[in-house]
Amino acid sequence: MNGVHDMGGMHGMGPAESEKNEPVFHARWEARVFALNRAVGAWGKWNIDASRHQKELIPPAEYLRISYYEKFLIGMIELLVKSGLVTRAEVESGKPARGSKKATPPLTVDKVAVLVANGVPASRNTPVTPKFRAGQRVRARNLNPTGHTRLPRYARGKTGTIERDHGVFVFPDTNAHFLGENPQHLYSVRFGARDLWGDQAAPQDAVYVNLWDDHLEPA
Amino acid sequence: MDGTRRGFLQAALTAAGAATTPVYAQAQGGGHGEAQQAVPSDPALRVKSLESLLVEKGLVDRKAVDALIDTYEHKIGPRNGARVVARAWADSAYKQRLLTNADAALAELGYGGLQGEHMVAVENSAKVHNLVVCTLCSCYPWPVLGLPPVWYKSEPYRSRSVIDPRGVLRELGLDLPADVEVRVWDSTAELRYMVIPERPTGTETLGEEQLASLVTRDAMIGVAKVSASLTGGRS
């Protein structure tokens, strides 16, 4: 979707400023949201792509106004309700509905270290023939789906070069909508900065974008 | 950053709270409209309420939540990446392995896993400077750098790193010569990037541990260089 989250190339957001000796979390609730999000994710009711898309659906003015972990919180609540793990009424009251059965959490404390150490790989062993090869000139397709996509607007219609084929990966554009993993080759595509931004960019600079077979066409 | 970006965020948080309060009151009062926004406005209260619901329903184990927080607050952070960089500087064969198969090379030092399942290392030199961003969200290599700082997740960094990397770097304190090639890596997939900074001159006699103490988080994102005089740290 052409949402405000897809902000590569936008102006007017202010200067980049770092914070000295920044803590990992600025408030305890941020830490709780971060960890709760992982803990409920362990139910396997949604995937990381659906989780990203849920945050993209936050209306643009609100998306820009609220903090990072508030977006996490809103996205998590929406997915919890959509998946049926909790009801809207339960979120509002903070109490389980009368008579609801108590579940057993999938992510228990003894499983945390394994989750952290193994992660959730997105590569697949499915044999899929790559559509492109390293060194080939390609164009990012001019796609404007209303759903989730990892093809940023600034690259669409632009020509670049396949730098590296990373192998077969889950395709987020379908996976986010539970339409299948649609595994396909994932590449690093090098776009010349001037091909993206015109003469204001330095001629030797470049932006590398990870794109999948379905995002690309031969140039 | 107090009084600047963080101050802005605090103000924004307050504004967000103010904006959602009437909606909450409305839903509480009559249950009409905007049910989607019907949550208390203060994030701390909202989270507390949600956590107690999830625990009471048996959906999460509170001890697992505590363990996750402890992991990323105390155990996993940029010191991991610094050790990797120091090893790469000290051992050129290791550096080659890191550049060609980062996952295997990181596993040699015991690093990998959540949000670093598929790693790529890129190397800075006198002629090439690499910079990592995620324009679409906030993807970041957790196993080697920990969780991302606020500025990395912020709109200014996400929006302008691809169109004006040199300007963004100047704002963050790094002025690059015009003839250097800047390579920006937009983390649009599940690949996670780490930058191997240039080894500073004057460090030829240092051991790996001393080298690691020089390597900063910002240098591994690509918004700083490593200085021989710095005493590393979290940023």
Domains and CATH numbers, chain A: 28-118 (1.10.472.20), 137-218 (2.30.30.50)
Query: What Å distances lie between residue A176 and A180, A184, B72, B117, CA to CA?
Result: 9, 15, 26, 19
pLDDT at A69 over 80: yes
Query: Sign of the CA dihedral A20, A23, A29, A32?
Result: positive
- Mean pLDDT for the stretch of residues B53-79: 98
Beta-carbon separation of B54 and A86 below 8 A: yes
Domain-by-domain residue ranges, chain B? 46-75, 80-221
When the pLDDT of each residue in chain A is averaged and rounded to a whole number, the result is 97
Q: Is the ipTM reported for this complex over the cut 0.90?
A: yes
pLDDT of B29 reads: 33
Check CB contact of B222 with chain A, cutoff 8 Å: no
Angle at A167 between CA A151 and CA A193, to 5 degrees: 40
pLDDT at B133 over 90: yes
Cβ neighbours of B187 (radius 10 Å): 23
**pLDDT tens per residue across span A112-140:** 999 999 999 999 999 999 999 999 999 99
Check CB contact of A169 with chain B, cutoff 8 Å: yes
Residue of chain B minimizing CA distance to A152: B136
Count how many Cα atoms sit within 13 Å of the Cα of residue A170 in the half-sphere of its side chain: 20
Coil, strand or helix at B47 = helix
The phi-psi region of residue A67 (left if phi > 0; otherwise alpha if psi is between -120 and 50; otherwise beta) is beta
Given the residues B49, B52, B125, B137, the one annotated as active site = B137
The CATH number of B80-221 is which of 3.30.365.10, 3.90.330.10, 3.40.50.2300, 2.40.10.10? Answer: 3.90.330.10
pLDDT of B230 reads: 54
Residue A167 binned pLDDT confidence (cut-offs 50, 70, 90): very high
From the list B153, B188, B150, B175, the residue with the least C-alpha distance to B4 is B150
Give every CB contact of residue A167 below 8 A, 6+ residues apart in sequence: A123, A185, A186
Question: Residues B158, A8: contact at Cβ < 8 Å?
Answer: yes
The phi-psi region of residue B147 (left if phi > 0; otherwise alpha if psi is between -120 and 50; otherwise beta) is beta
Contacting residues of B for A202, CB less than 8 Å apart: 166, 178, 182
| Residue from B135, B142, B144, B175 to probe the interface with A (highest A Cβ count within 10 Å) | B135
Check CB contact of B99 with chain A, cutoff 8 Å: no
Tell me, yes or no, if B138 is annotated catalytic.
Answer: yes
pLDDT of B35 reads: 43
pLDDT of B5 reads: 44
Contacting residues of B for A215, CB less than 8 Å apart: none
pLDDT at B30 over 60: no
Strand pairing class (A206-212; A216-218)? unpaired
pLDDT at A215 over 50: yes
Alpha-carbon distance of A166 to B190, in angstroms, equals 11
| Residue from B8, B20, B68, B187 to probe the interface with A (highest A Cβ count within 10 Å) | B68
Beta strands per DSSP E along A21-174: 137-140, 159-169
Beta-carbon separation of B63 and A36 below 8 A: no
Given the residues B41, B134, B161, B187, the one annotated as active site = B134
Q: Is the pTM of this model over 0.95?
A: no
pLDDT of B40 reads: 53
Alpha-carbon distance of B216 to B231, in angstroms, equals 9
Tell me, yes or no, if B187 is annotated catalytic.
Answer: no
Residues 162-201 on B with a CB inside 8 Å of A are 162-163, 165-166, 168, 171-172, 178-179, 181-191
Residue A52: which of B113, B137, B183 has the nearest Cβ? B137
pLDDT at B33 over 50: no
**pLDDT tens per residue across span A74-102:** 999 999 999 999 999 999 999 999 999 99
Strand pairing class (A159-169; A184-192)? antiparallel
Question: Residues B228, B202: contact at Cβ < 8 Å?
Answer: yes
Instruction: Tell me phi and psi for residue A95, to 5 degrees.
Output: -125, 145
Question: Residues A159, A189: contact at Cβ < 8 Å?
Answer: no
Residue B229 binned pLDDT confidence (cut-offs 50, 70, 90): confident
Beta-carbon separation of A206 and B182 below 8 A: yes
pLDDT at A22 over 80: yes
